[in-house]
């Protein structure tokens, strides 16, 4: 069965709903309007709470079937955690609340859910985050699951959020929705199997953003050769699938203002190439285009909400395969910037793609800042797990803005060091630099490699999202495999820092 989720807002009182949800915090009974609804049941809240150990903690619930005094089939009281008037919940905490609401209700509900959110802390922005969390948790990638014929029904499930000011909440939900859709686009691209989403197919999906008013340009093999982008091309040369560089421009800001550039690693499948990866888990490398997917999802979000900023998204799309035409360890190639690279490990391919994509961004678009996103190193997952992505930057100001956007959205970043001592590790005996310095500081030496392609004076940040973009443990807002990390973060970063 397919479940179609509709989210609405309404004032109180409750209409007909199959399931009514109230919140209670801190061991207190439901307050205000929720208290009146509870009172209709005639039940003794303290007694029920004490008998099942309900203390109002997030994740706790009182679940009452066939409540007296209500039309609903079911009444659910959810724990809202500590209510602290001096420390309002973060947006990320509201999204988590929406996620756990989806988990607790969407499975049970046949038809409709009414949620009472009448407290003063449920601002329009908070309600919008809750709605975003609901949608993100509801997301499923099940298009390749065969369905039985009689199970082809579509159930529509309506969640009505009862709030103090429905018009203001609607406006906030509508403003937040583009980033949710962009994040879902990123998840779809990452979850897609690598036989279906090859380089050409990915480029086509990105090119479809022209329907939203994004200017899209797609460069193929010949154009990349003409530009001398042999760092990126060296990765592509072992694959039967041709490379693509997709440039997506959204010009929503003042004409003449330099754009912010986002650059994404788009390796549609990373076998490792001749330095082939072990078999176990190799299927996960279909997600090695998570950076490019996030950039595509971000451009989708910015265009659909008509962001008042000039932004360019550039994604390098290739496949890394072993074959008779593959690059070899020992090969030396010249990047478009002129830097020569000794390839010592063909599995360190992401930096080879980004090297030329970063050069292209600067050469052709003269951006005021560049942020790149890449599932670049396994080492970042060893260092930070899946709670933070790695952040590397040559600009304290840019890094500070990104960290702040991370705290707002829950897509958290942790900055790691860079410097001459690390840079020294990528020096090559035969060329200007080599593409791997082995295990020590693996994520940092990867960032130092990228820094060699950033011109002096350009503010640049690199986000290593290998630990957070895919196979992340289930969270309140994600029950699937790909997280879509980066879209919410960068949408926020653009909104707070670059819109007029």
Q: Residue numbers of the site for ligand BES (CB under 6 A)?
A: 270, 288, 345, 347-350, 375, 377-379, 436, 442, 466
Q: Tell which positions 336-355 bind Mn ion, by CB under 5 A.
A: 347, 349
Binding partner selected for residue 379 from Zn ion, ligand BES, Mn ion, none, CB under the kind-specific 5 to 8 Å limit: ligand BES
Nearer to Zn ion, 177 or 435 (CB): 435
- CA 263, 268, 273, 275 torsion-angle sign: positive
Q: Which of 405, 400, 414 is nearest to 447 (CA)?
A: 414
Q: How far is the CB of 379 from Mn ion (least distance, A)?
A: 12
Q: How far is the CB of 454 from Zn ion (least distance, A)?
A: 20
C-alpha distances in angstroms, 157 versus 11, 17, 90, 115?
A: 19, 11, 27, 13
**Count of residues that bind Zn ion according to CB under 5 A:** 4
Q: How many CB atoms lie within 10 A of CB 142?
A: 9
Which of the ranges 9-17, 253-261, 262-270, 324-332 carries the binding residues for Mn ion, by CB under 5 A? 262-270
Catalytic position from the list 351, 401, 492, 495: 351
Q: How far apart are CA 374 and CA 44, in angstroms?
A: 54
Q: Which of 282, 336, 291 is nearest to 316 (CA)?
A: 291
C-alpha distances in angstroms, 47 versus 62, 76, 299?
A: 12, 16, 52
Q: How far is the CB of 399 from Mn ion (least distance, A)?
A: 26
Tokens of 66: 């066939």
Q: How far is the CB of 243 from ligand BES (least distance, A)?
A: 16
Which of the ranges 78-86, 92-100, 267-275, 464-472 carries the binding residues for Mn ion, by CB under 5 A? 267-275
Give the residue nearest to ligand BES (CB): 378
Nearer to ligand BES, 155 or 283 (CB): 283
Q: How far apart are CA 445 and CA 418, in angstroms?
A: 8
Phi, psi of 295 (to 5 degrees): -65, -40
Q: Which of 111, 116, 113 is nearest to 12 (CA)?
A: 116
Q: How far is the CB of 231 from Zn ion (least distance, A)?
A: 14
Q: Strands 244-251, 310-320: parallel, antiparallel or unpaired by DSSP?
A: antiparallel
Tokens of 324: 């008779």
Nearer to Zn ion, 17 or 189 (CB): 189
Q: How far apart are CA 33 and CA 30, in angstroms?
A: 8
Note if 148 is an active site residue: no
Catalytic position from the list 277, 308, 415, 452: 277
Q: Which of 81, 146, 364, 77 is nearest to 248 (CA)?
A: 364
Nearer to ligand BES, 217 or 432 (CB): 432
Rule CB under 5 A: is residue 270 a binding residue for Mn ion?
A: yes
Q: How many CB atoms lie within 10 A of CB 379?
A: 20
Binding partner selected for residue 491 from Zn ion, ligand BES, Mn ion, none, CB under the kind-specific 5 to 8 Å limit: none
Question: To which residue do tokens 């709605």 refer?
Answer: 131
Q: Tell which positions 269-288 bind Zn ion, by CB under 5 A.
A: 270, 288
Note if 401 is an active site residue: no
Nearer to Zn ion, 92 or 267 (CB): 267
Q: How far is the CB of 288 from Mn ion (least distance, A)?
A: 7
Q: Tell which positions 313-372 bind Zn ion, by CB under 5 A.
A: 350
Give the residue nearest to Mn ion (CB): 347
Nearer to Mn ion, 201 or 347 (CB): 347
Q: Strands 74-79, 244-251: parallel, antiparallel or unpaired by DSSP?
A: unpaired
Binding partner selected for residue 448 from ligand BES, Mn ion, Zn ion, none, CB under the kind-specific 5 to 8 Å limit: none
Nearer to Zn ion, 277 or 334 (CB): 277
Q: How many CB atoms lie within 10 A of CB 441?
A: 20
Q: Tell which positions 144-203 bind Mn ion, by CB under 5 A.
A: none
Nearer to ligand BES, 105 or 377 (CB): 377
Q: How far is the CB of 446 from Zn ion (least distance, A)?
A: 10
Which residues lie closer than 8 Å to 419 by C-beta, 6 or more apart? none
- Angular region, 9: left φ>0, alpha ψ -120 to 50, beta rest: beta
Q: How far is the CB of 141 from ligand BES (least distance, A)?
A: 18
Q: How far apart are CA 157 and CA 105, in angstroms?
A: 10
Phi, psi of 344 (to 5 degrees): -100, -15
Q: How far apart are CA 337 and CA 496, in angstroms?
A: 32
CA 199 to chain CA centroid, nearest Å: 21
Tokens of 267: 């390796």
Residues that bind Mn ion (CB under 5 A): 270, 347, 349
Positions annotated as catalytic residues are 277, 351
Residues that bind Zn ion (CB under 5 A): 267, 270, 288, 350
């Amino acid at each position: 069965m397919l479940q179609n989720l509709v989210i609405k807002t309404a004032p109180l009182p409750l209409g007909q709903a199959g399931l009514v949800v109230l919140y209670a915090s801190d061991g207190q009974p439901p307050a205000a309007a929720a208290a009146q609804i509870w009172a209709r049941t005639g039940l003794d809240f303290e007694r029920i709470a004490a008998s099942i150990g309900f203390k109002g903690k997030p994740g706790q619930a009182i679940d009452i079937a066939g409540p007296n005094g209500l039309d609903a089939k079911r009444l659910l009281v959810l724990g809202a955690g500590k209510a602290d008037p001096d420390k309002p919940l973060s947006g990320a905490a509201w999204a988590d609340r929406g996620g756990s609401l989806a988990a607790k209700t969407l499975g049970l509900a046949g038809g409709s859910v009414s949620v009472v959110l009448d407290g003063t802390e449920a601002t329009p922005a908070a309600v919008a985050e809750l709605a975003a969390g609901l949608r993100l948790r509801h997301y499923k990638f099940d298009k390749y699951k065969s369905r039985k014929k009689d199970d082809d029904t579509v159930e529509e499930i309506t969640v009505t959020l009862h709030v103090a000011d429905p018009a203001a909440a609607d406006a906030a939900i509508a403003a937040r929705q583009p980033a949710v859709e962009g994040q879902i686009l990123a998840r779809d691209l990452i979850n897609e199997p690598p036989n279906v989403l090859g380089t050409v197919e990915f480029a086509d999906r990105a090119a479809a953003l022209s329907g939203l008013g994004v200017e899209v340009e797609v460069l193929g093999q010949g154009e990349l050769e003409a530009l001398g982008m042999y760092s990126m091309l060296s990765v592509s040369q072992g694959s039967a699938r041709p490379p693509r560089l997709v440039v997506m421009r959204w010009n929503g800001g003042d004409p003449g203002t330099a754009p912010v550039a986002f650059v994404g690693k788009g390796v549609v499948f990373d076998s490792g190439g001749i330095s082939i990866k072990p078999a176990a888990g190799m299927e996960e490398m279909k997600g090695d285009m998570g950076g490019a997917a996030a950039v595509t999802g971000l451009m989708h979000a910015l265009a659909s909400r008509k962001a008042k900023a000039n932004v360019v998204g550039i994604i390098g799309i290739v496949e890394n395969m072993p074959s008779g035409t593959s690059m070899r360890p020992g090969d030396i190639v010249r990047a478009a910037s002129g830097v020569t690279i000794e390839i010592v490990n063909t599995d360190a391919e992401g930096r080879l793609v980004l090297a030329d994509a970063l050069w292209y961004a600067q050469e052709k678009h003269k951006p005021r800042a560049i942020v790149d996103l890449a599932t670049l190193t396994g080492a970042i997952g060893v260092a930070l797990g899946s709670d933070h992505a790695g952040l590397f930057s040559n600009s304290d100001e840019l890094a500070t803005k990104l960290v702040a956007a991370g705290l707002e959205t829950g897509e958290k970043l942790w900055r790691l060091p860079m410097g001459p001592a690390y840079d020294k590790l990528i020096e090559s005996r035969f060329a200007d630099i080599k593409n791997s310095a082995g295990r020590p500081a693996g994520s940092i030496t990867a960032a130092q490699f990228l820094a060699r392609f950033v011109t002096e004076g350009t503010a640049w940040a690199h986000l290593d999202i290998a630990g957070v973009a895919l196979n992340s443990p289930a969270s309140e807002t994600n029950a699937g495999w790909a997280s879509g990390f980066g879209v919410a973060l960068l949408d926020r970063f653009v909104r707070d820092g670059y819109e007029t």
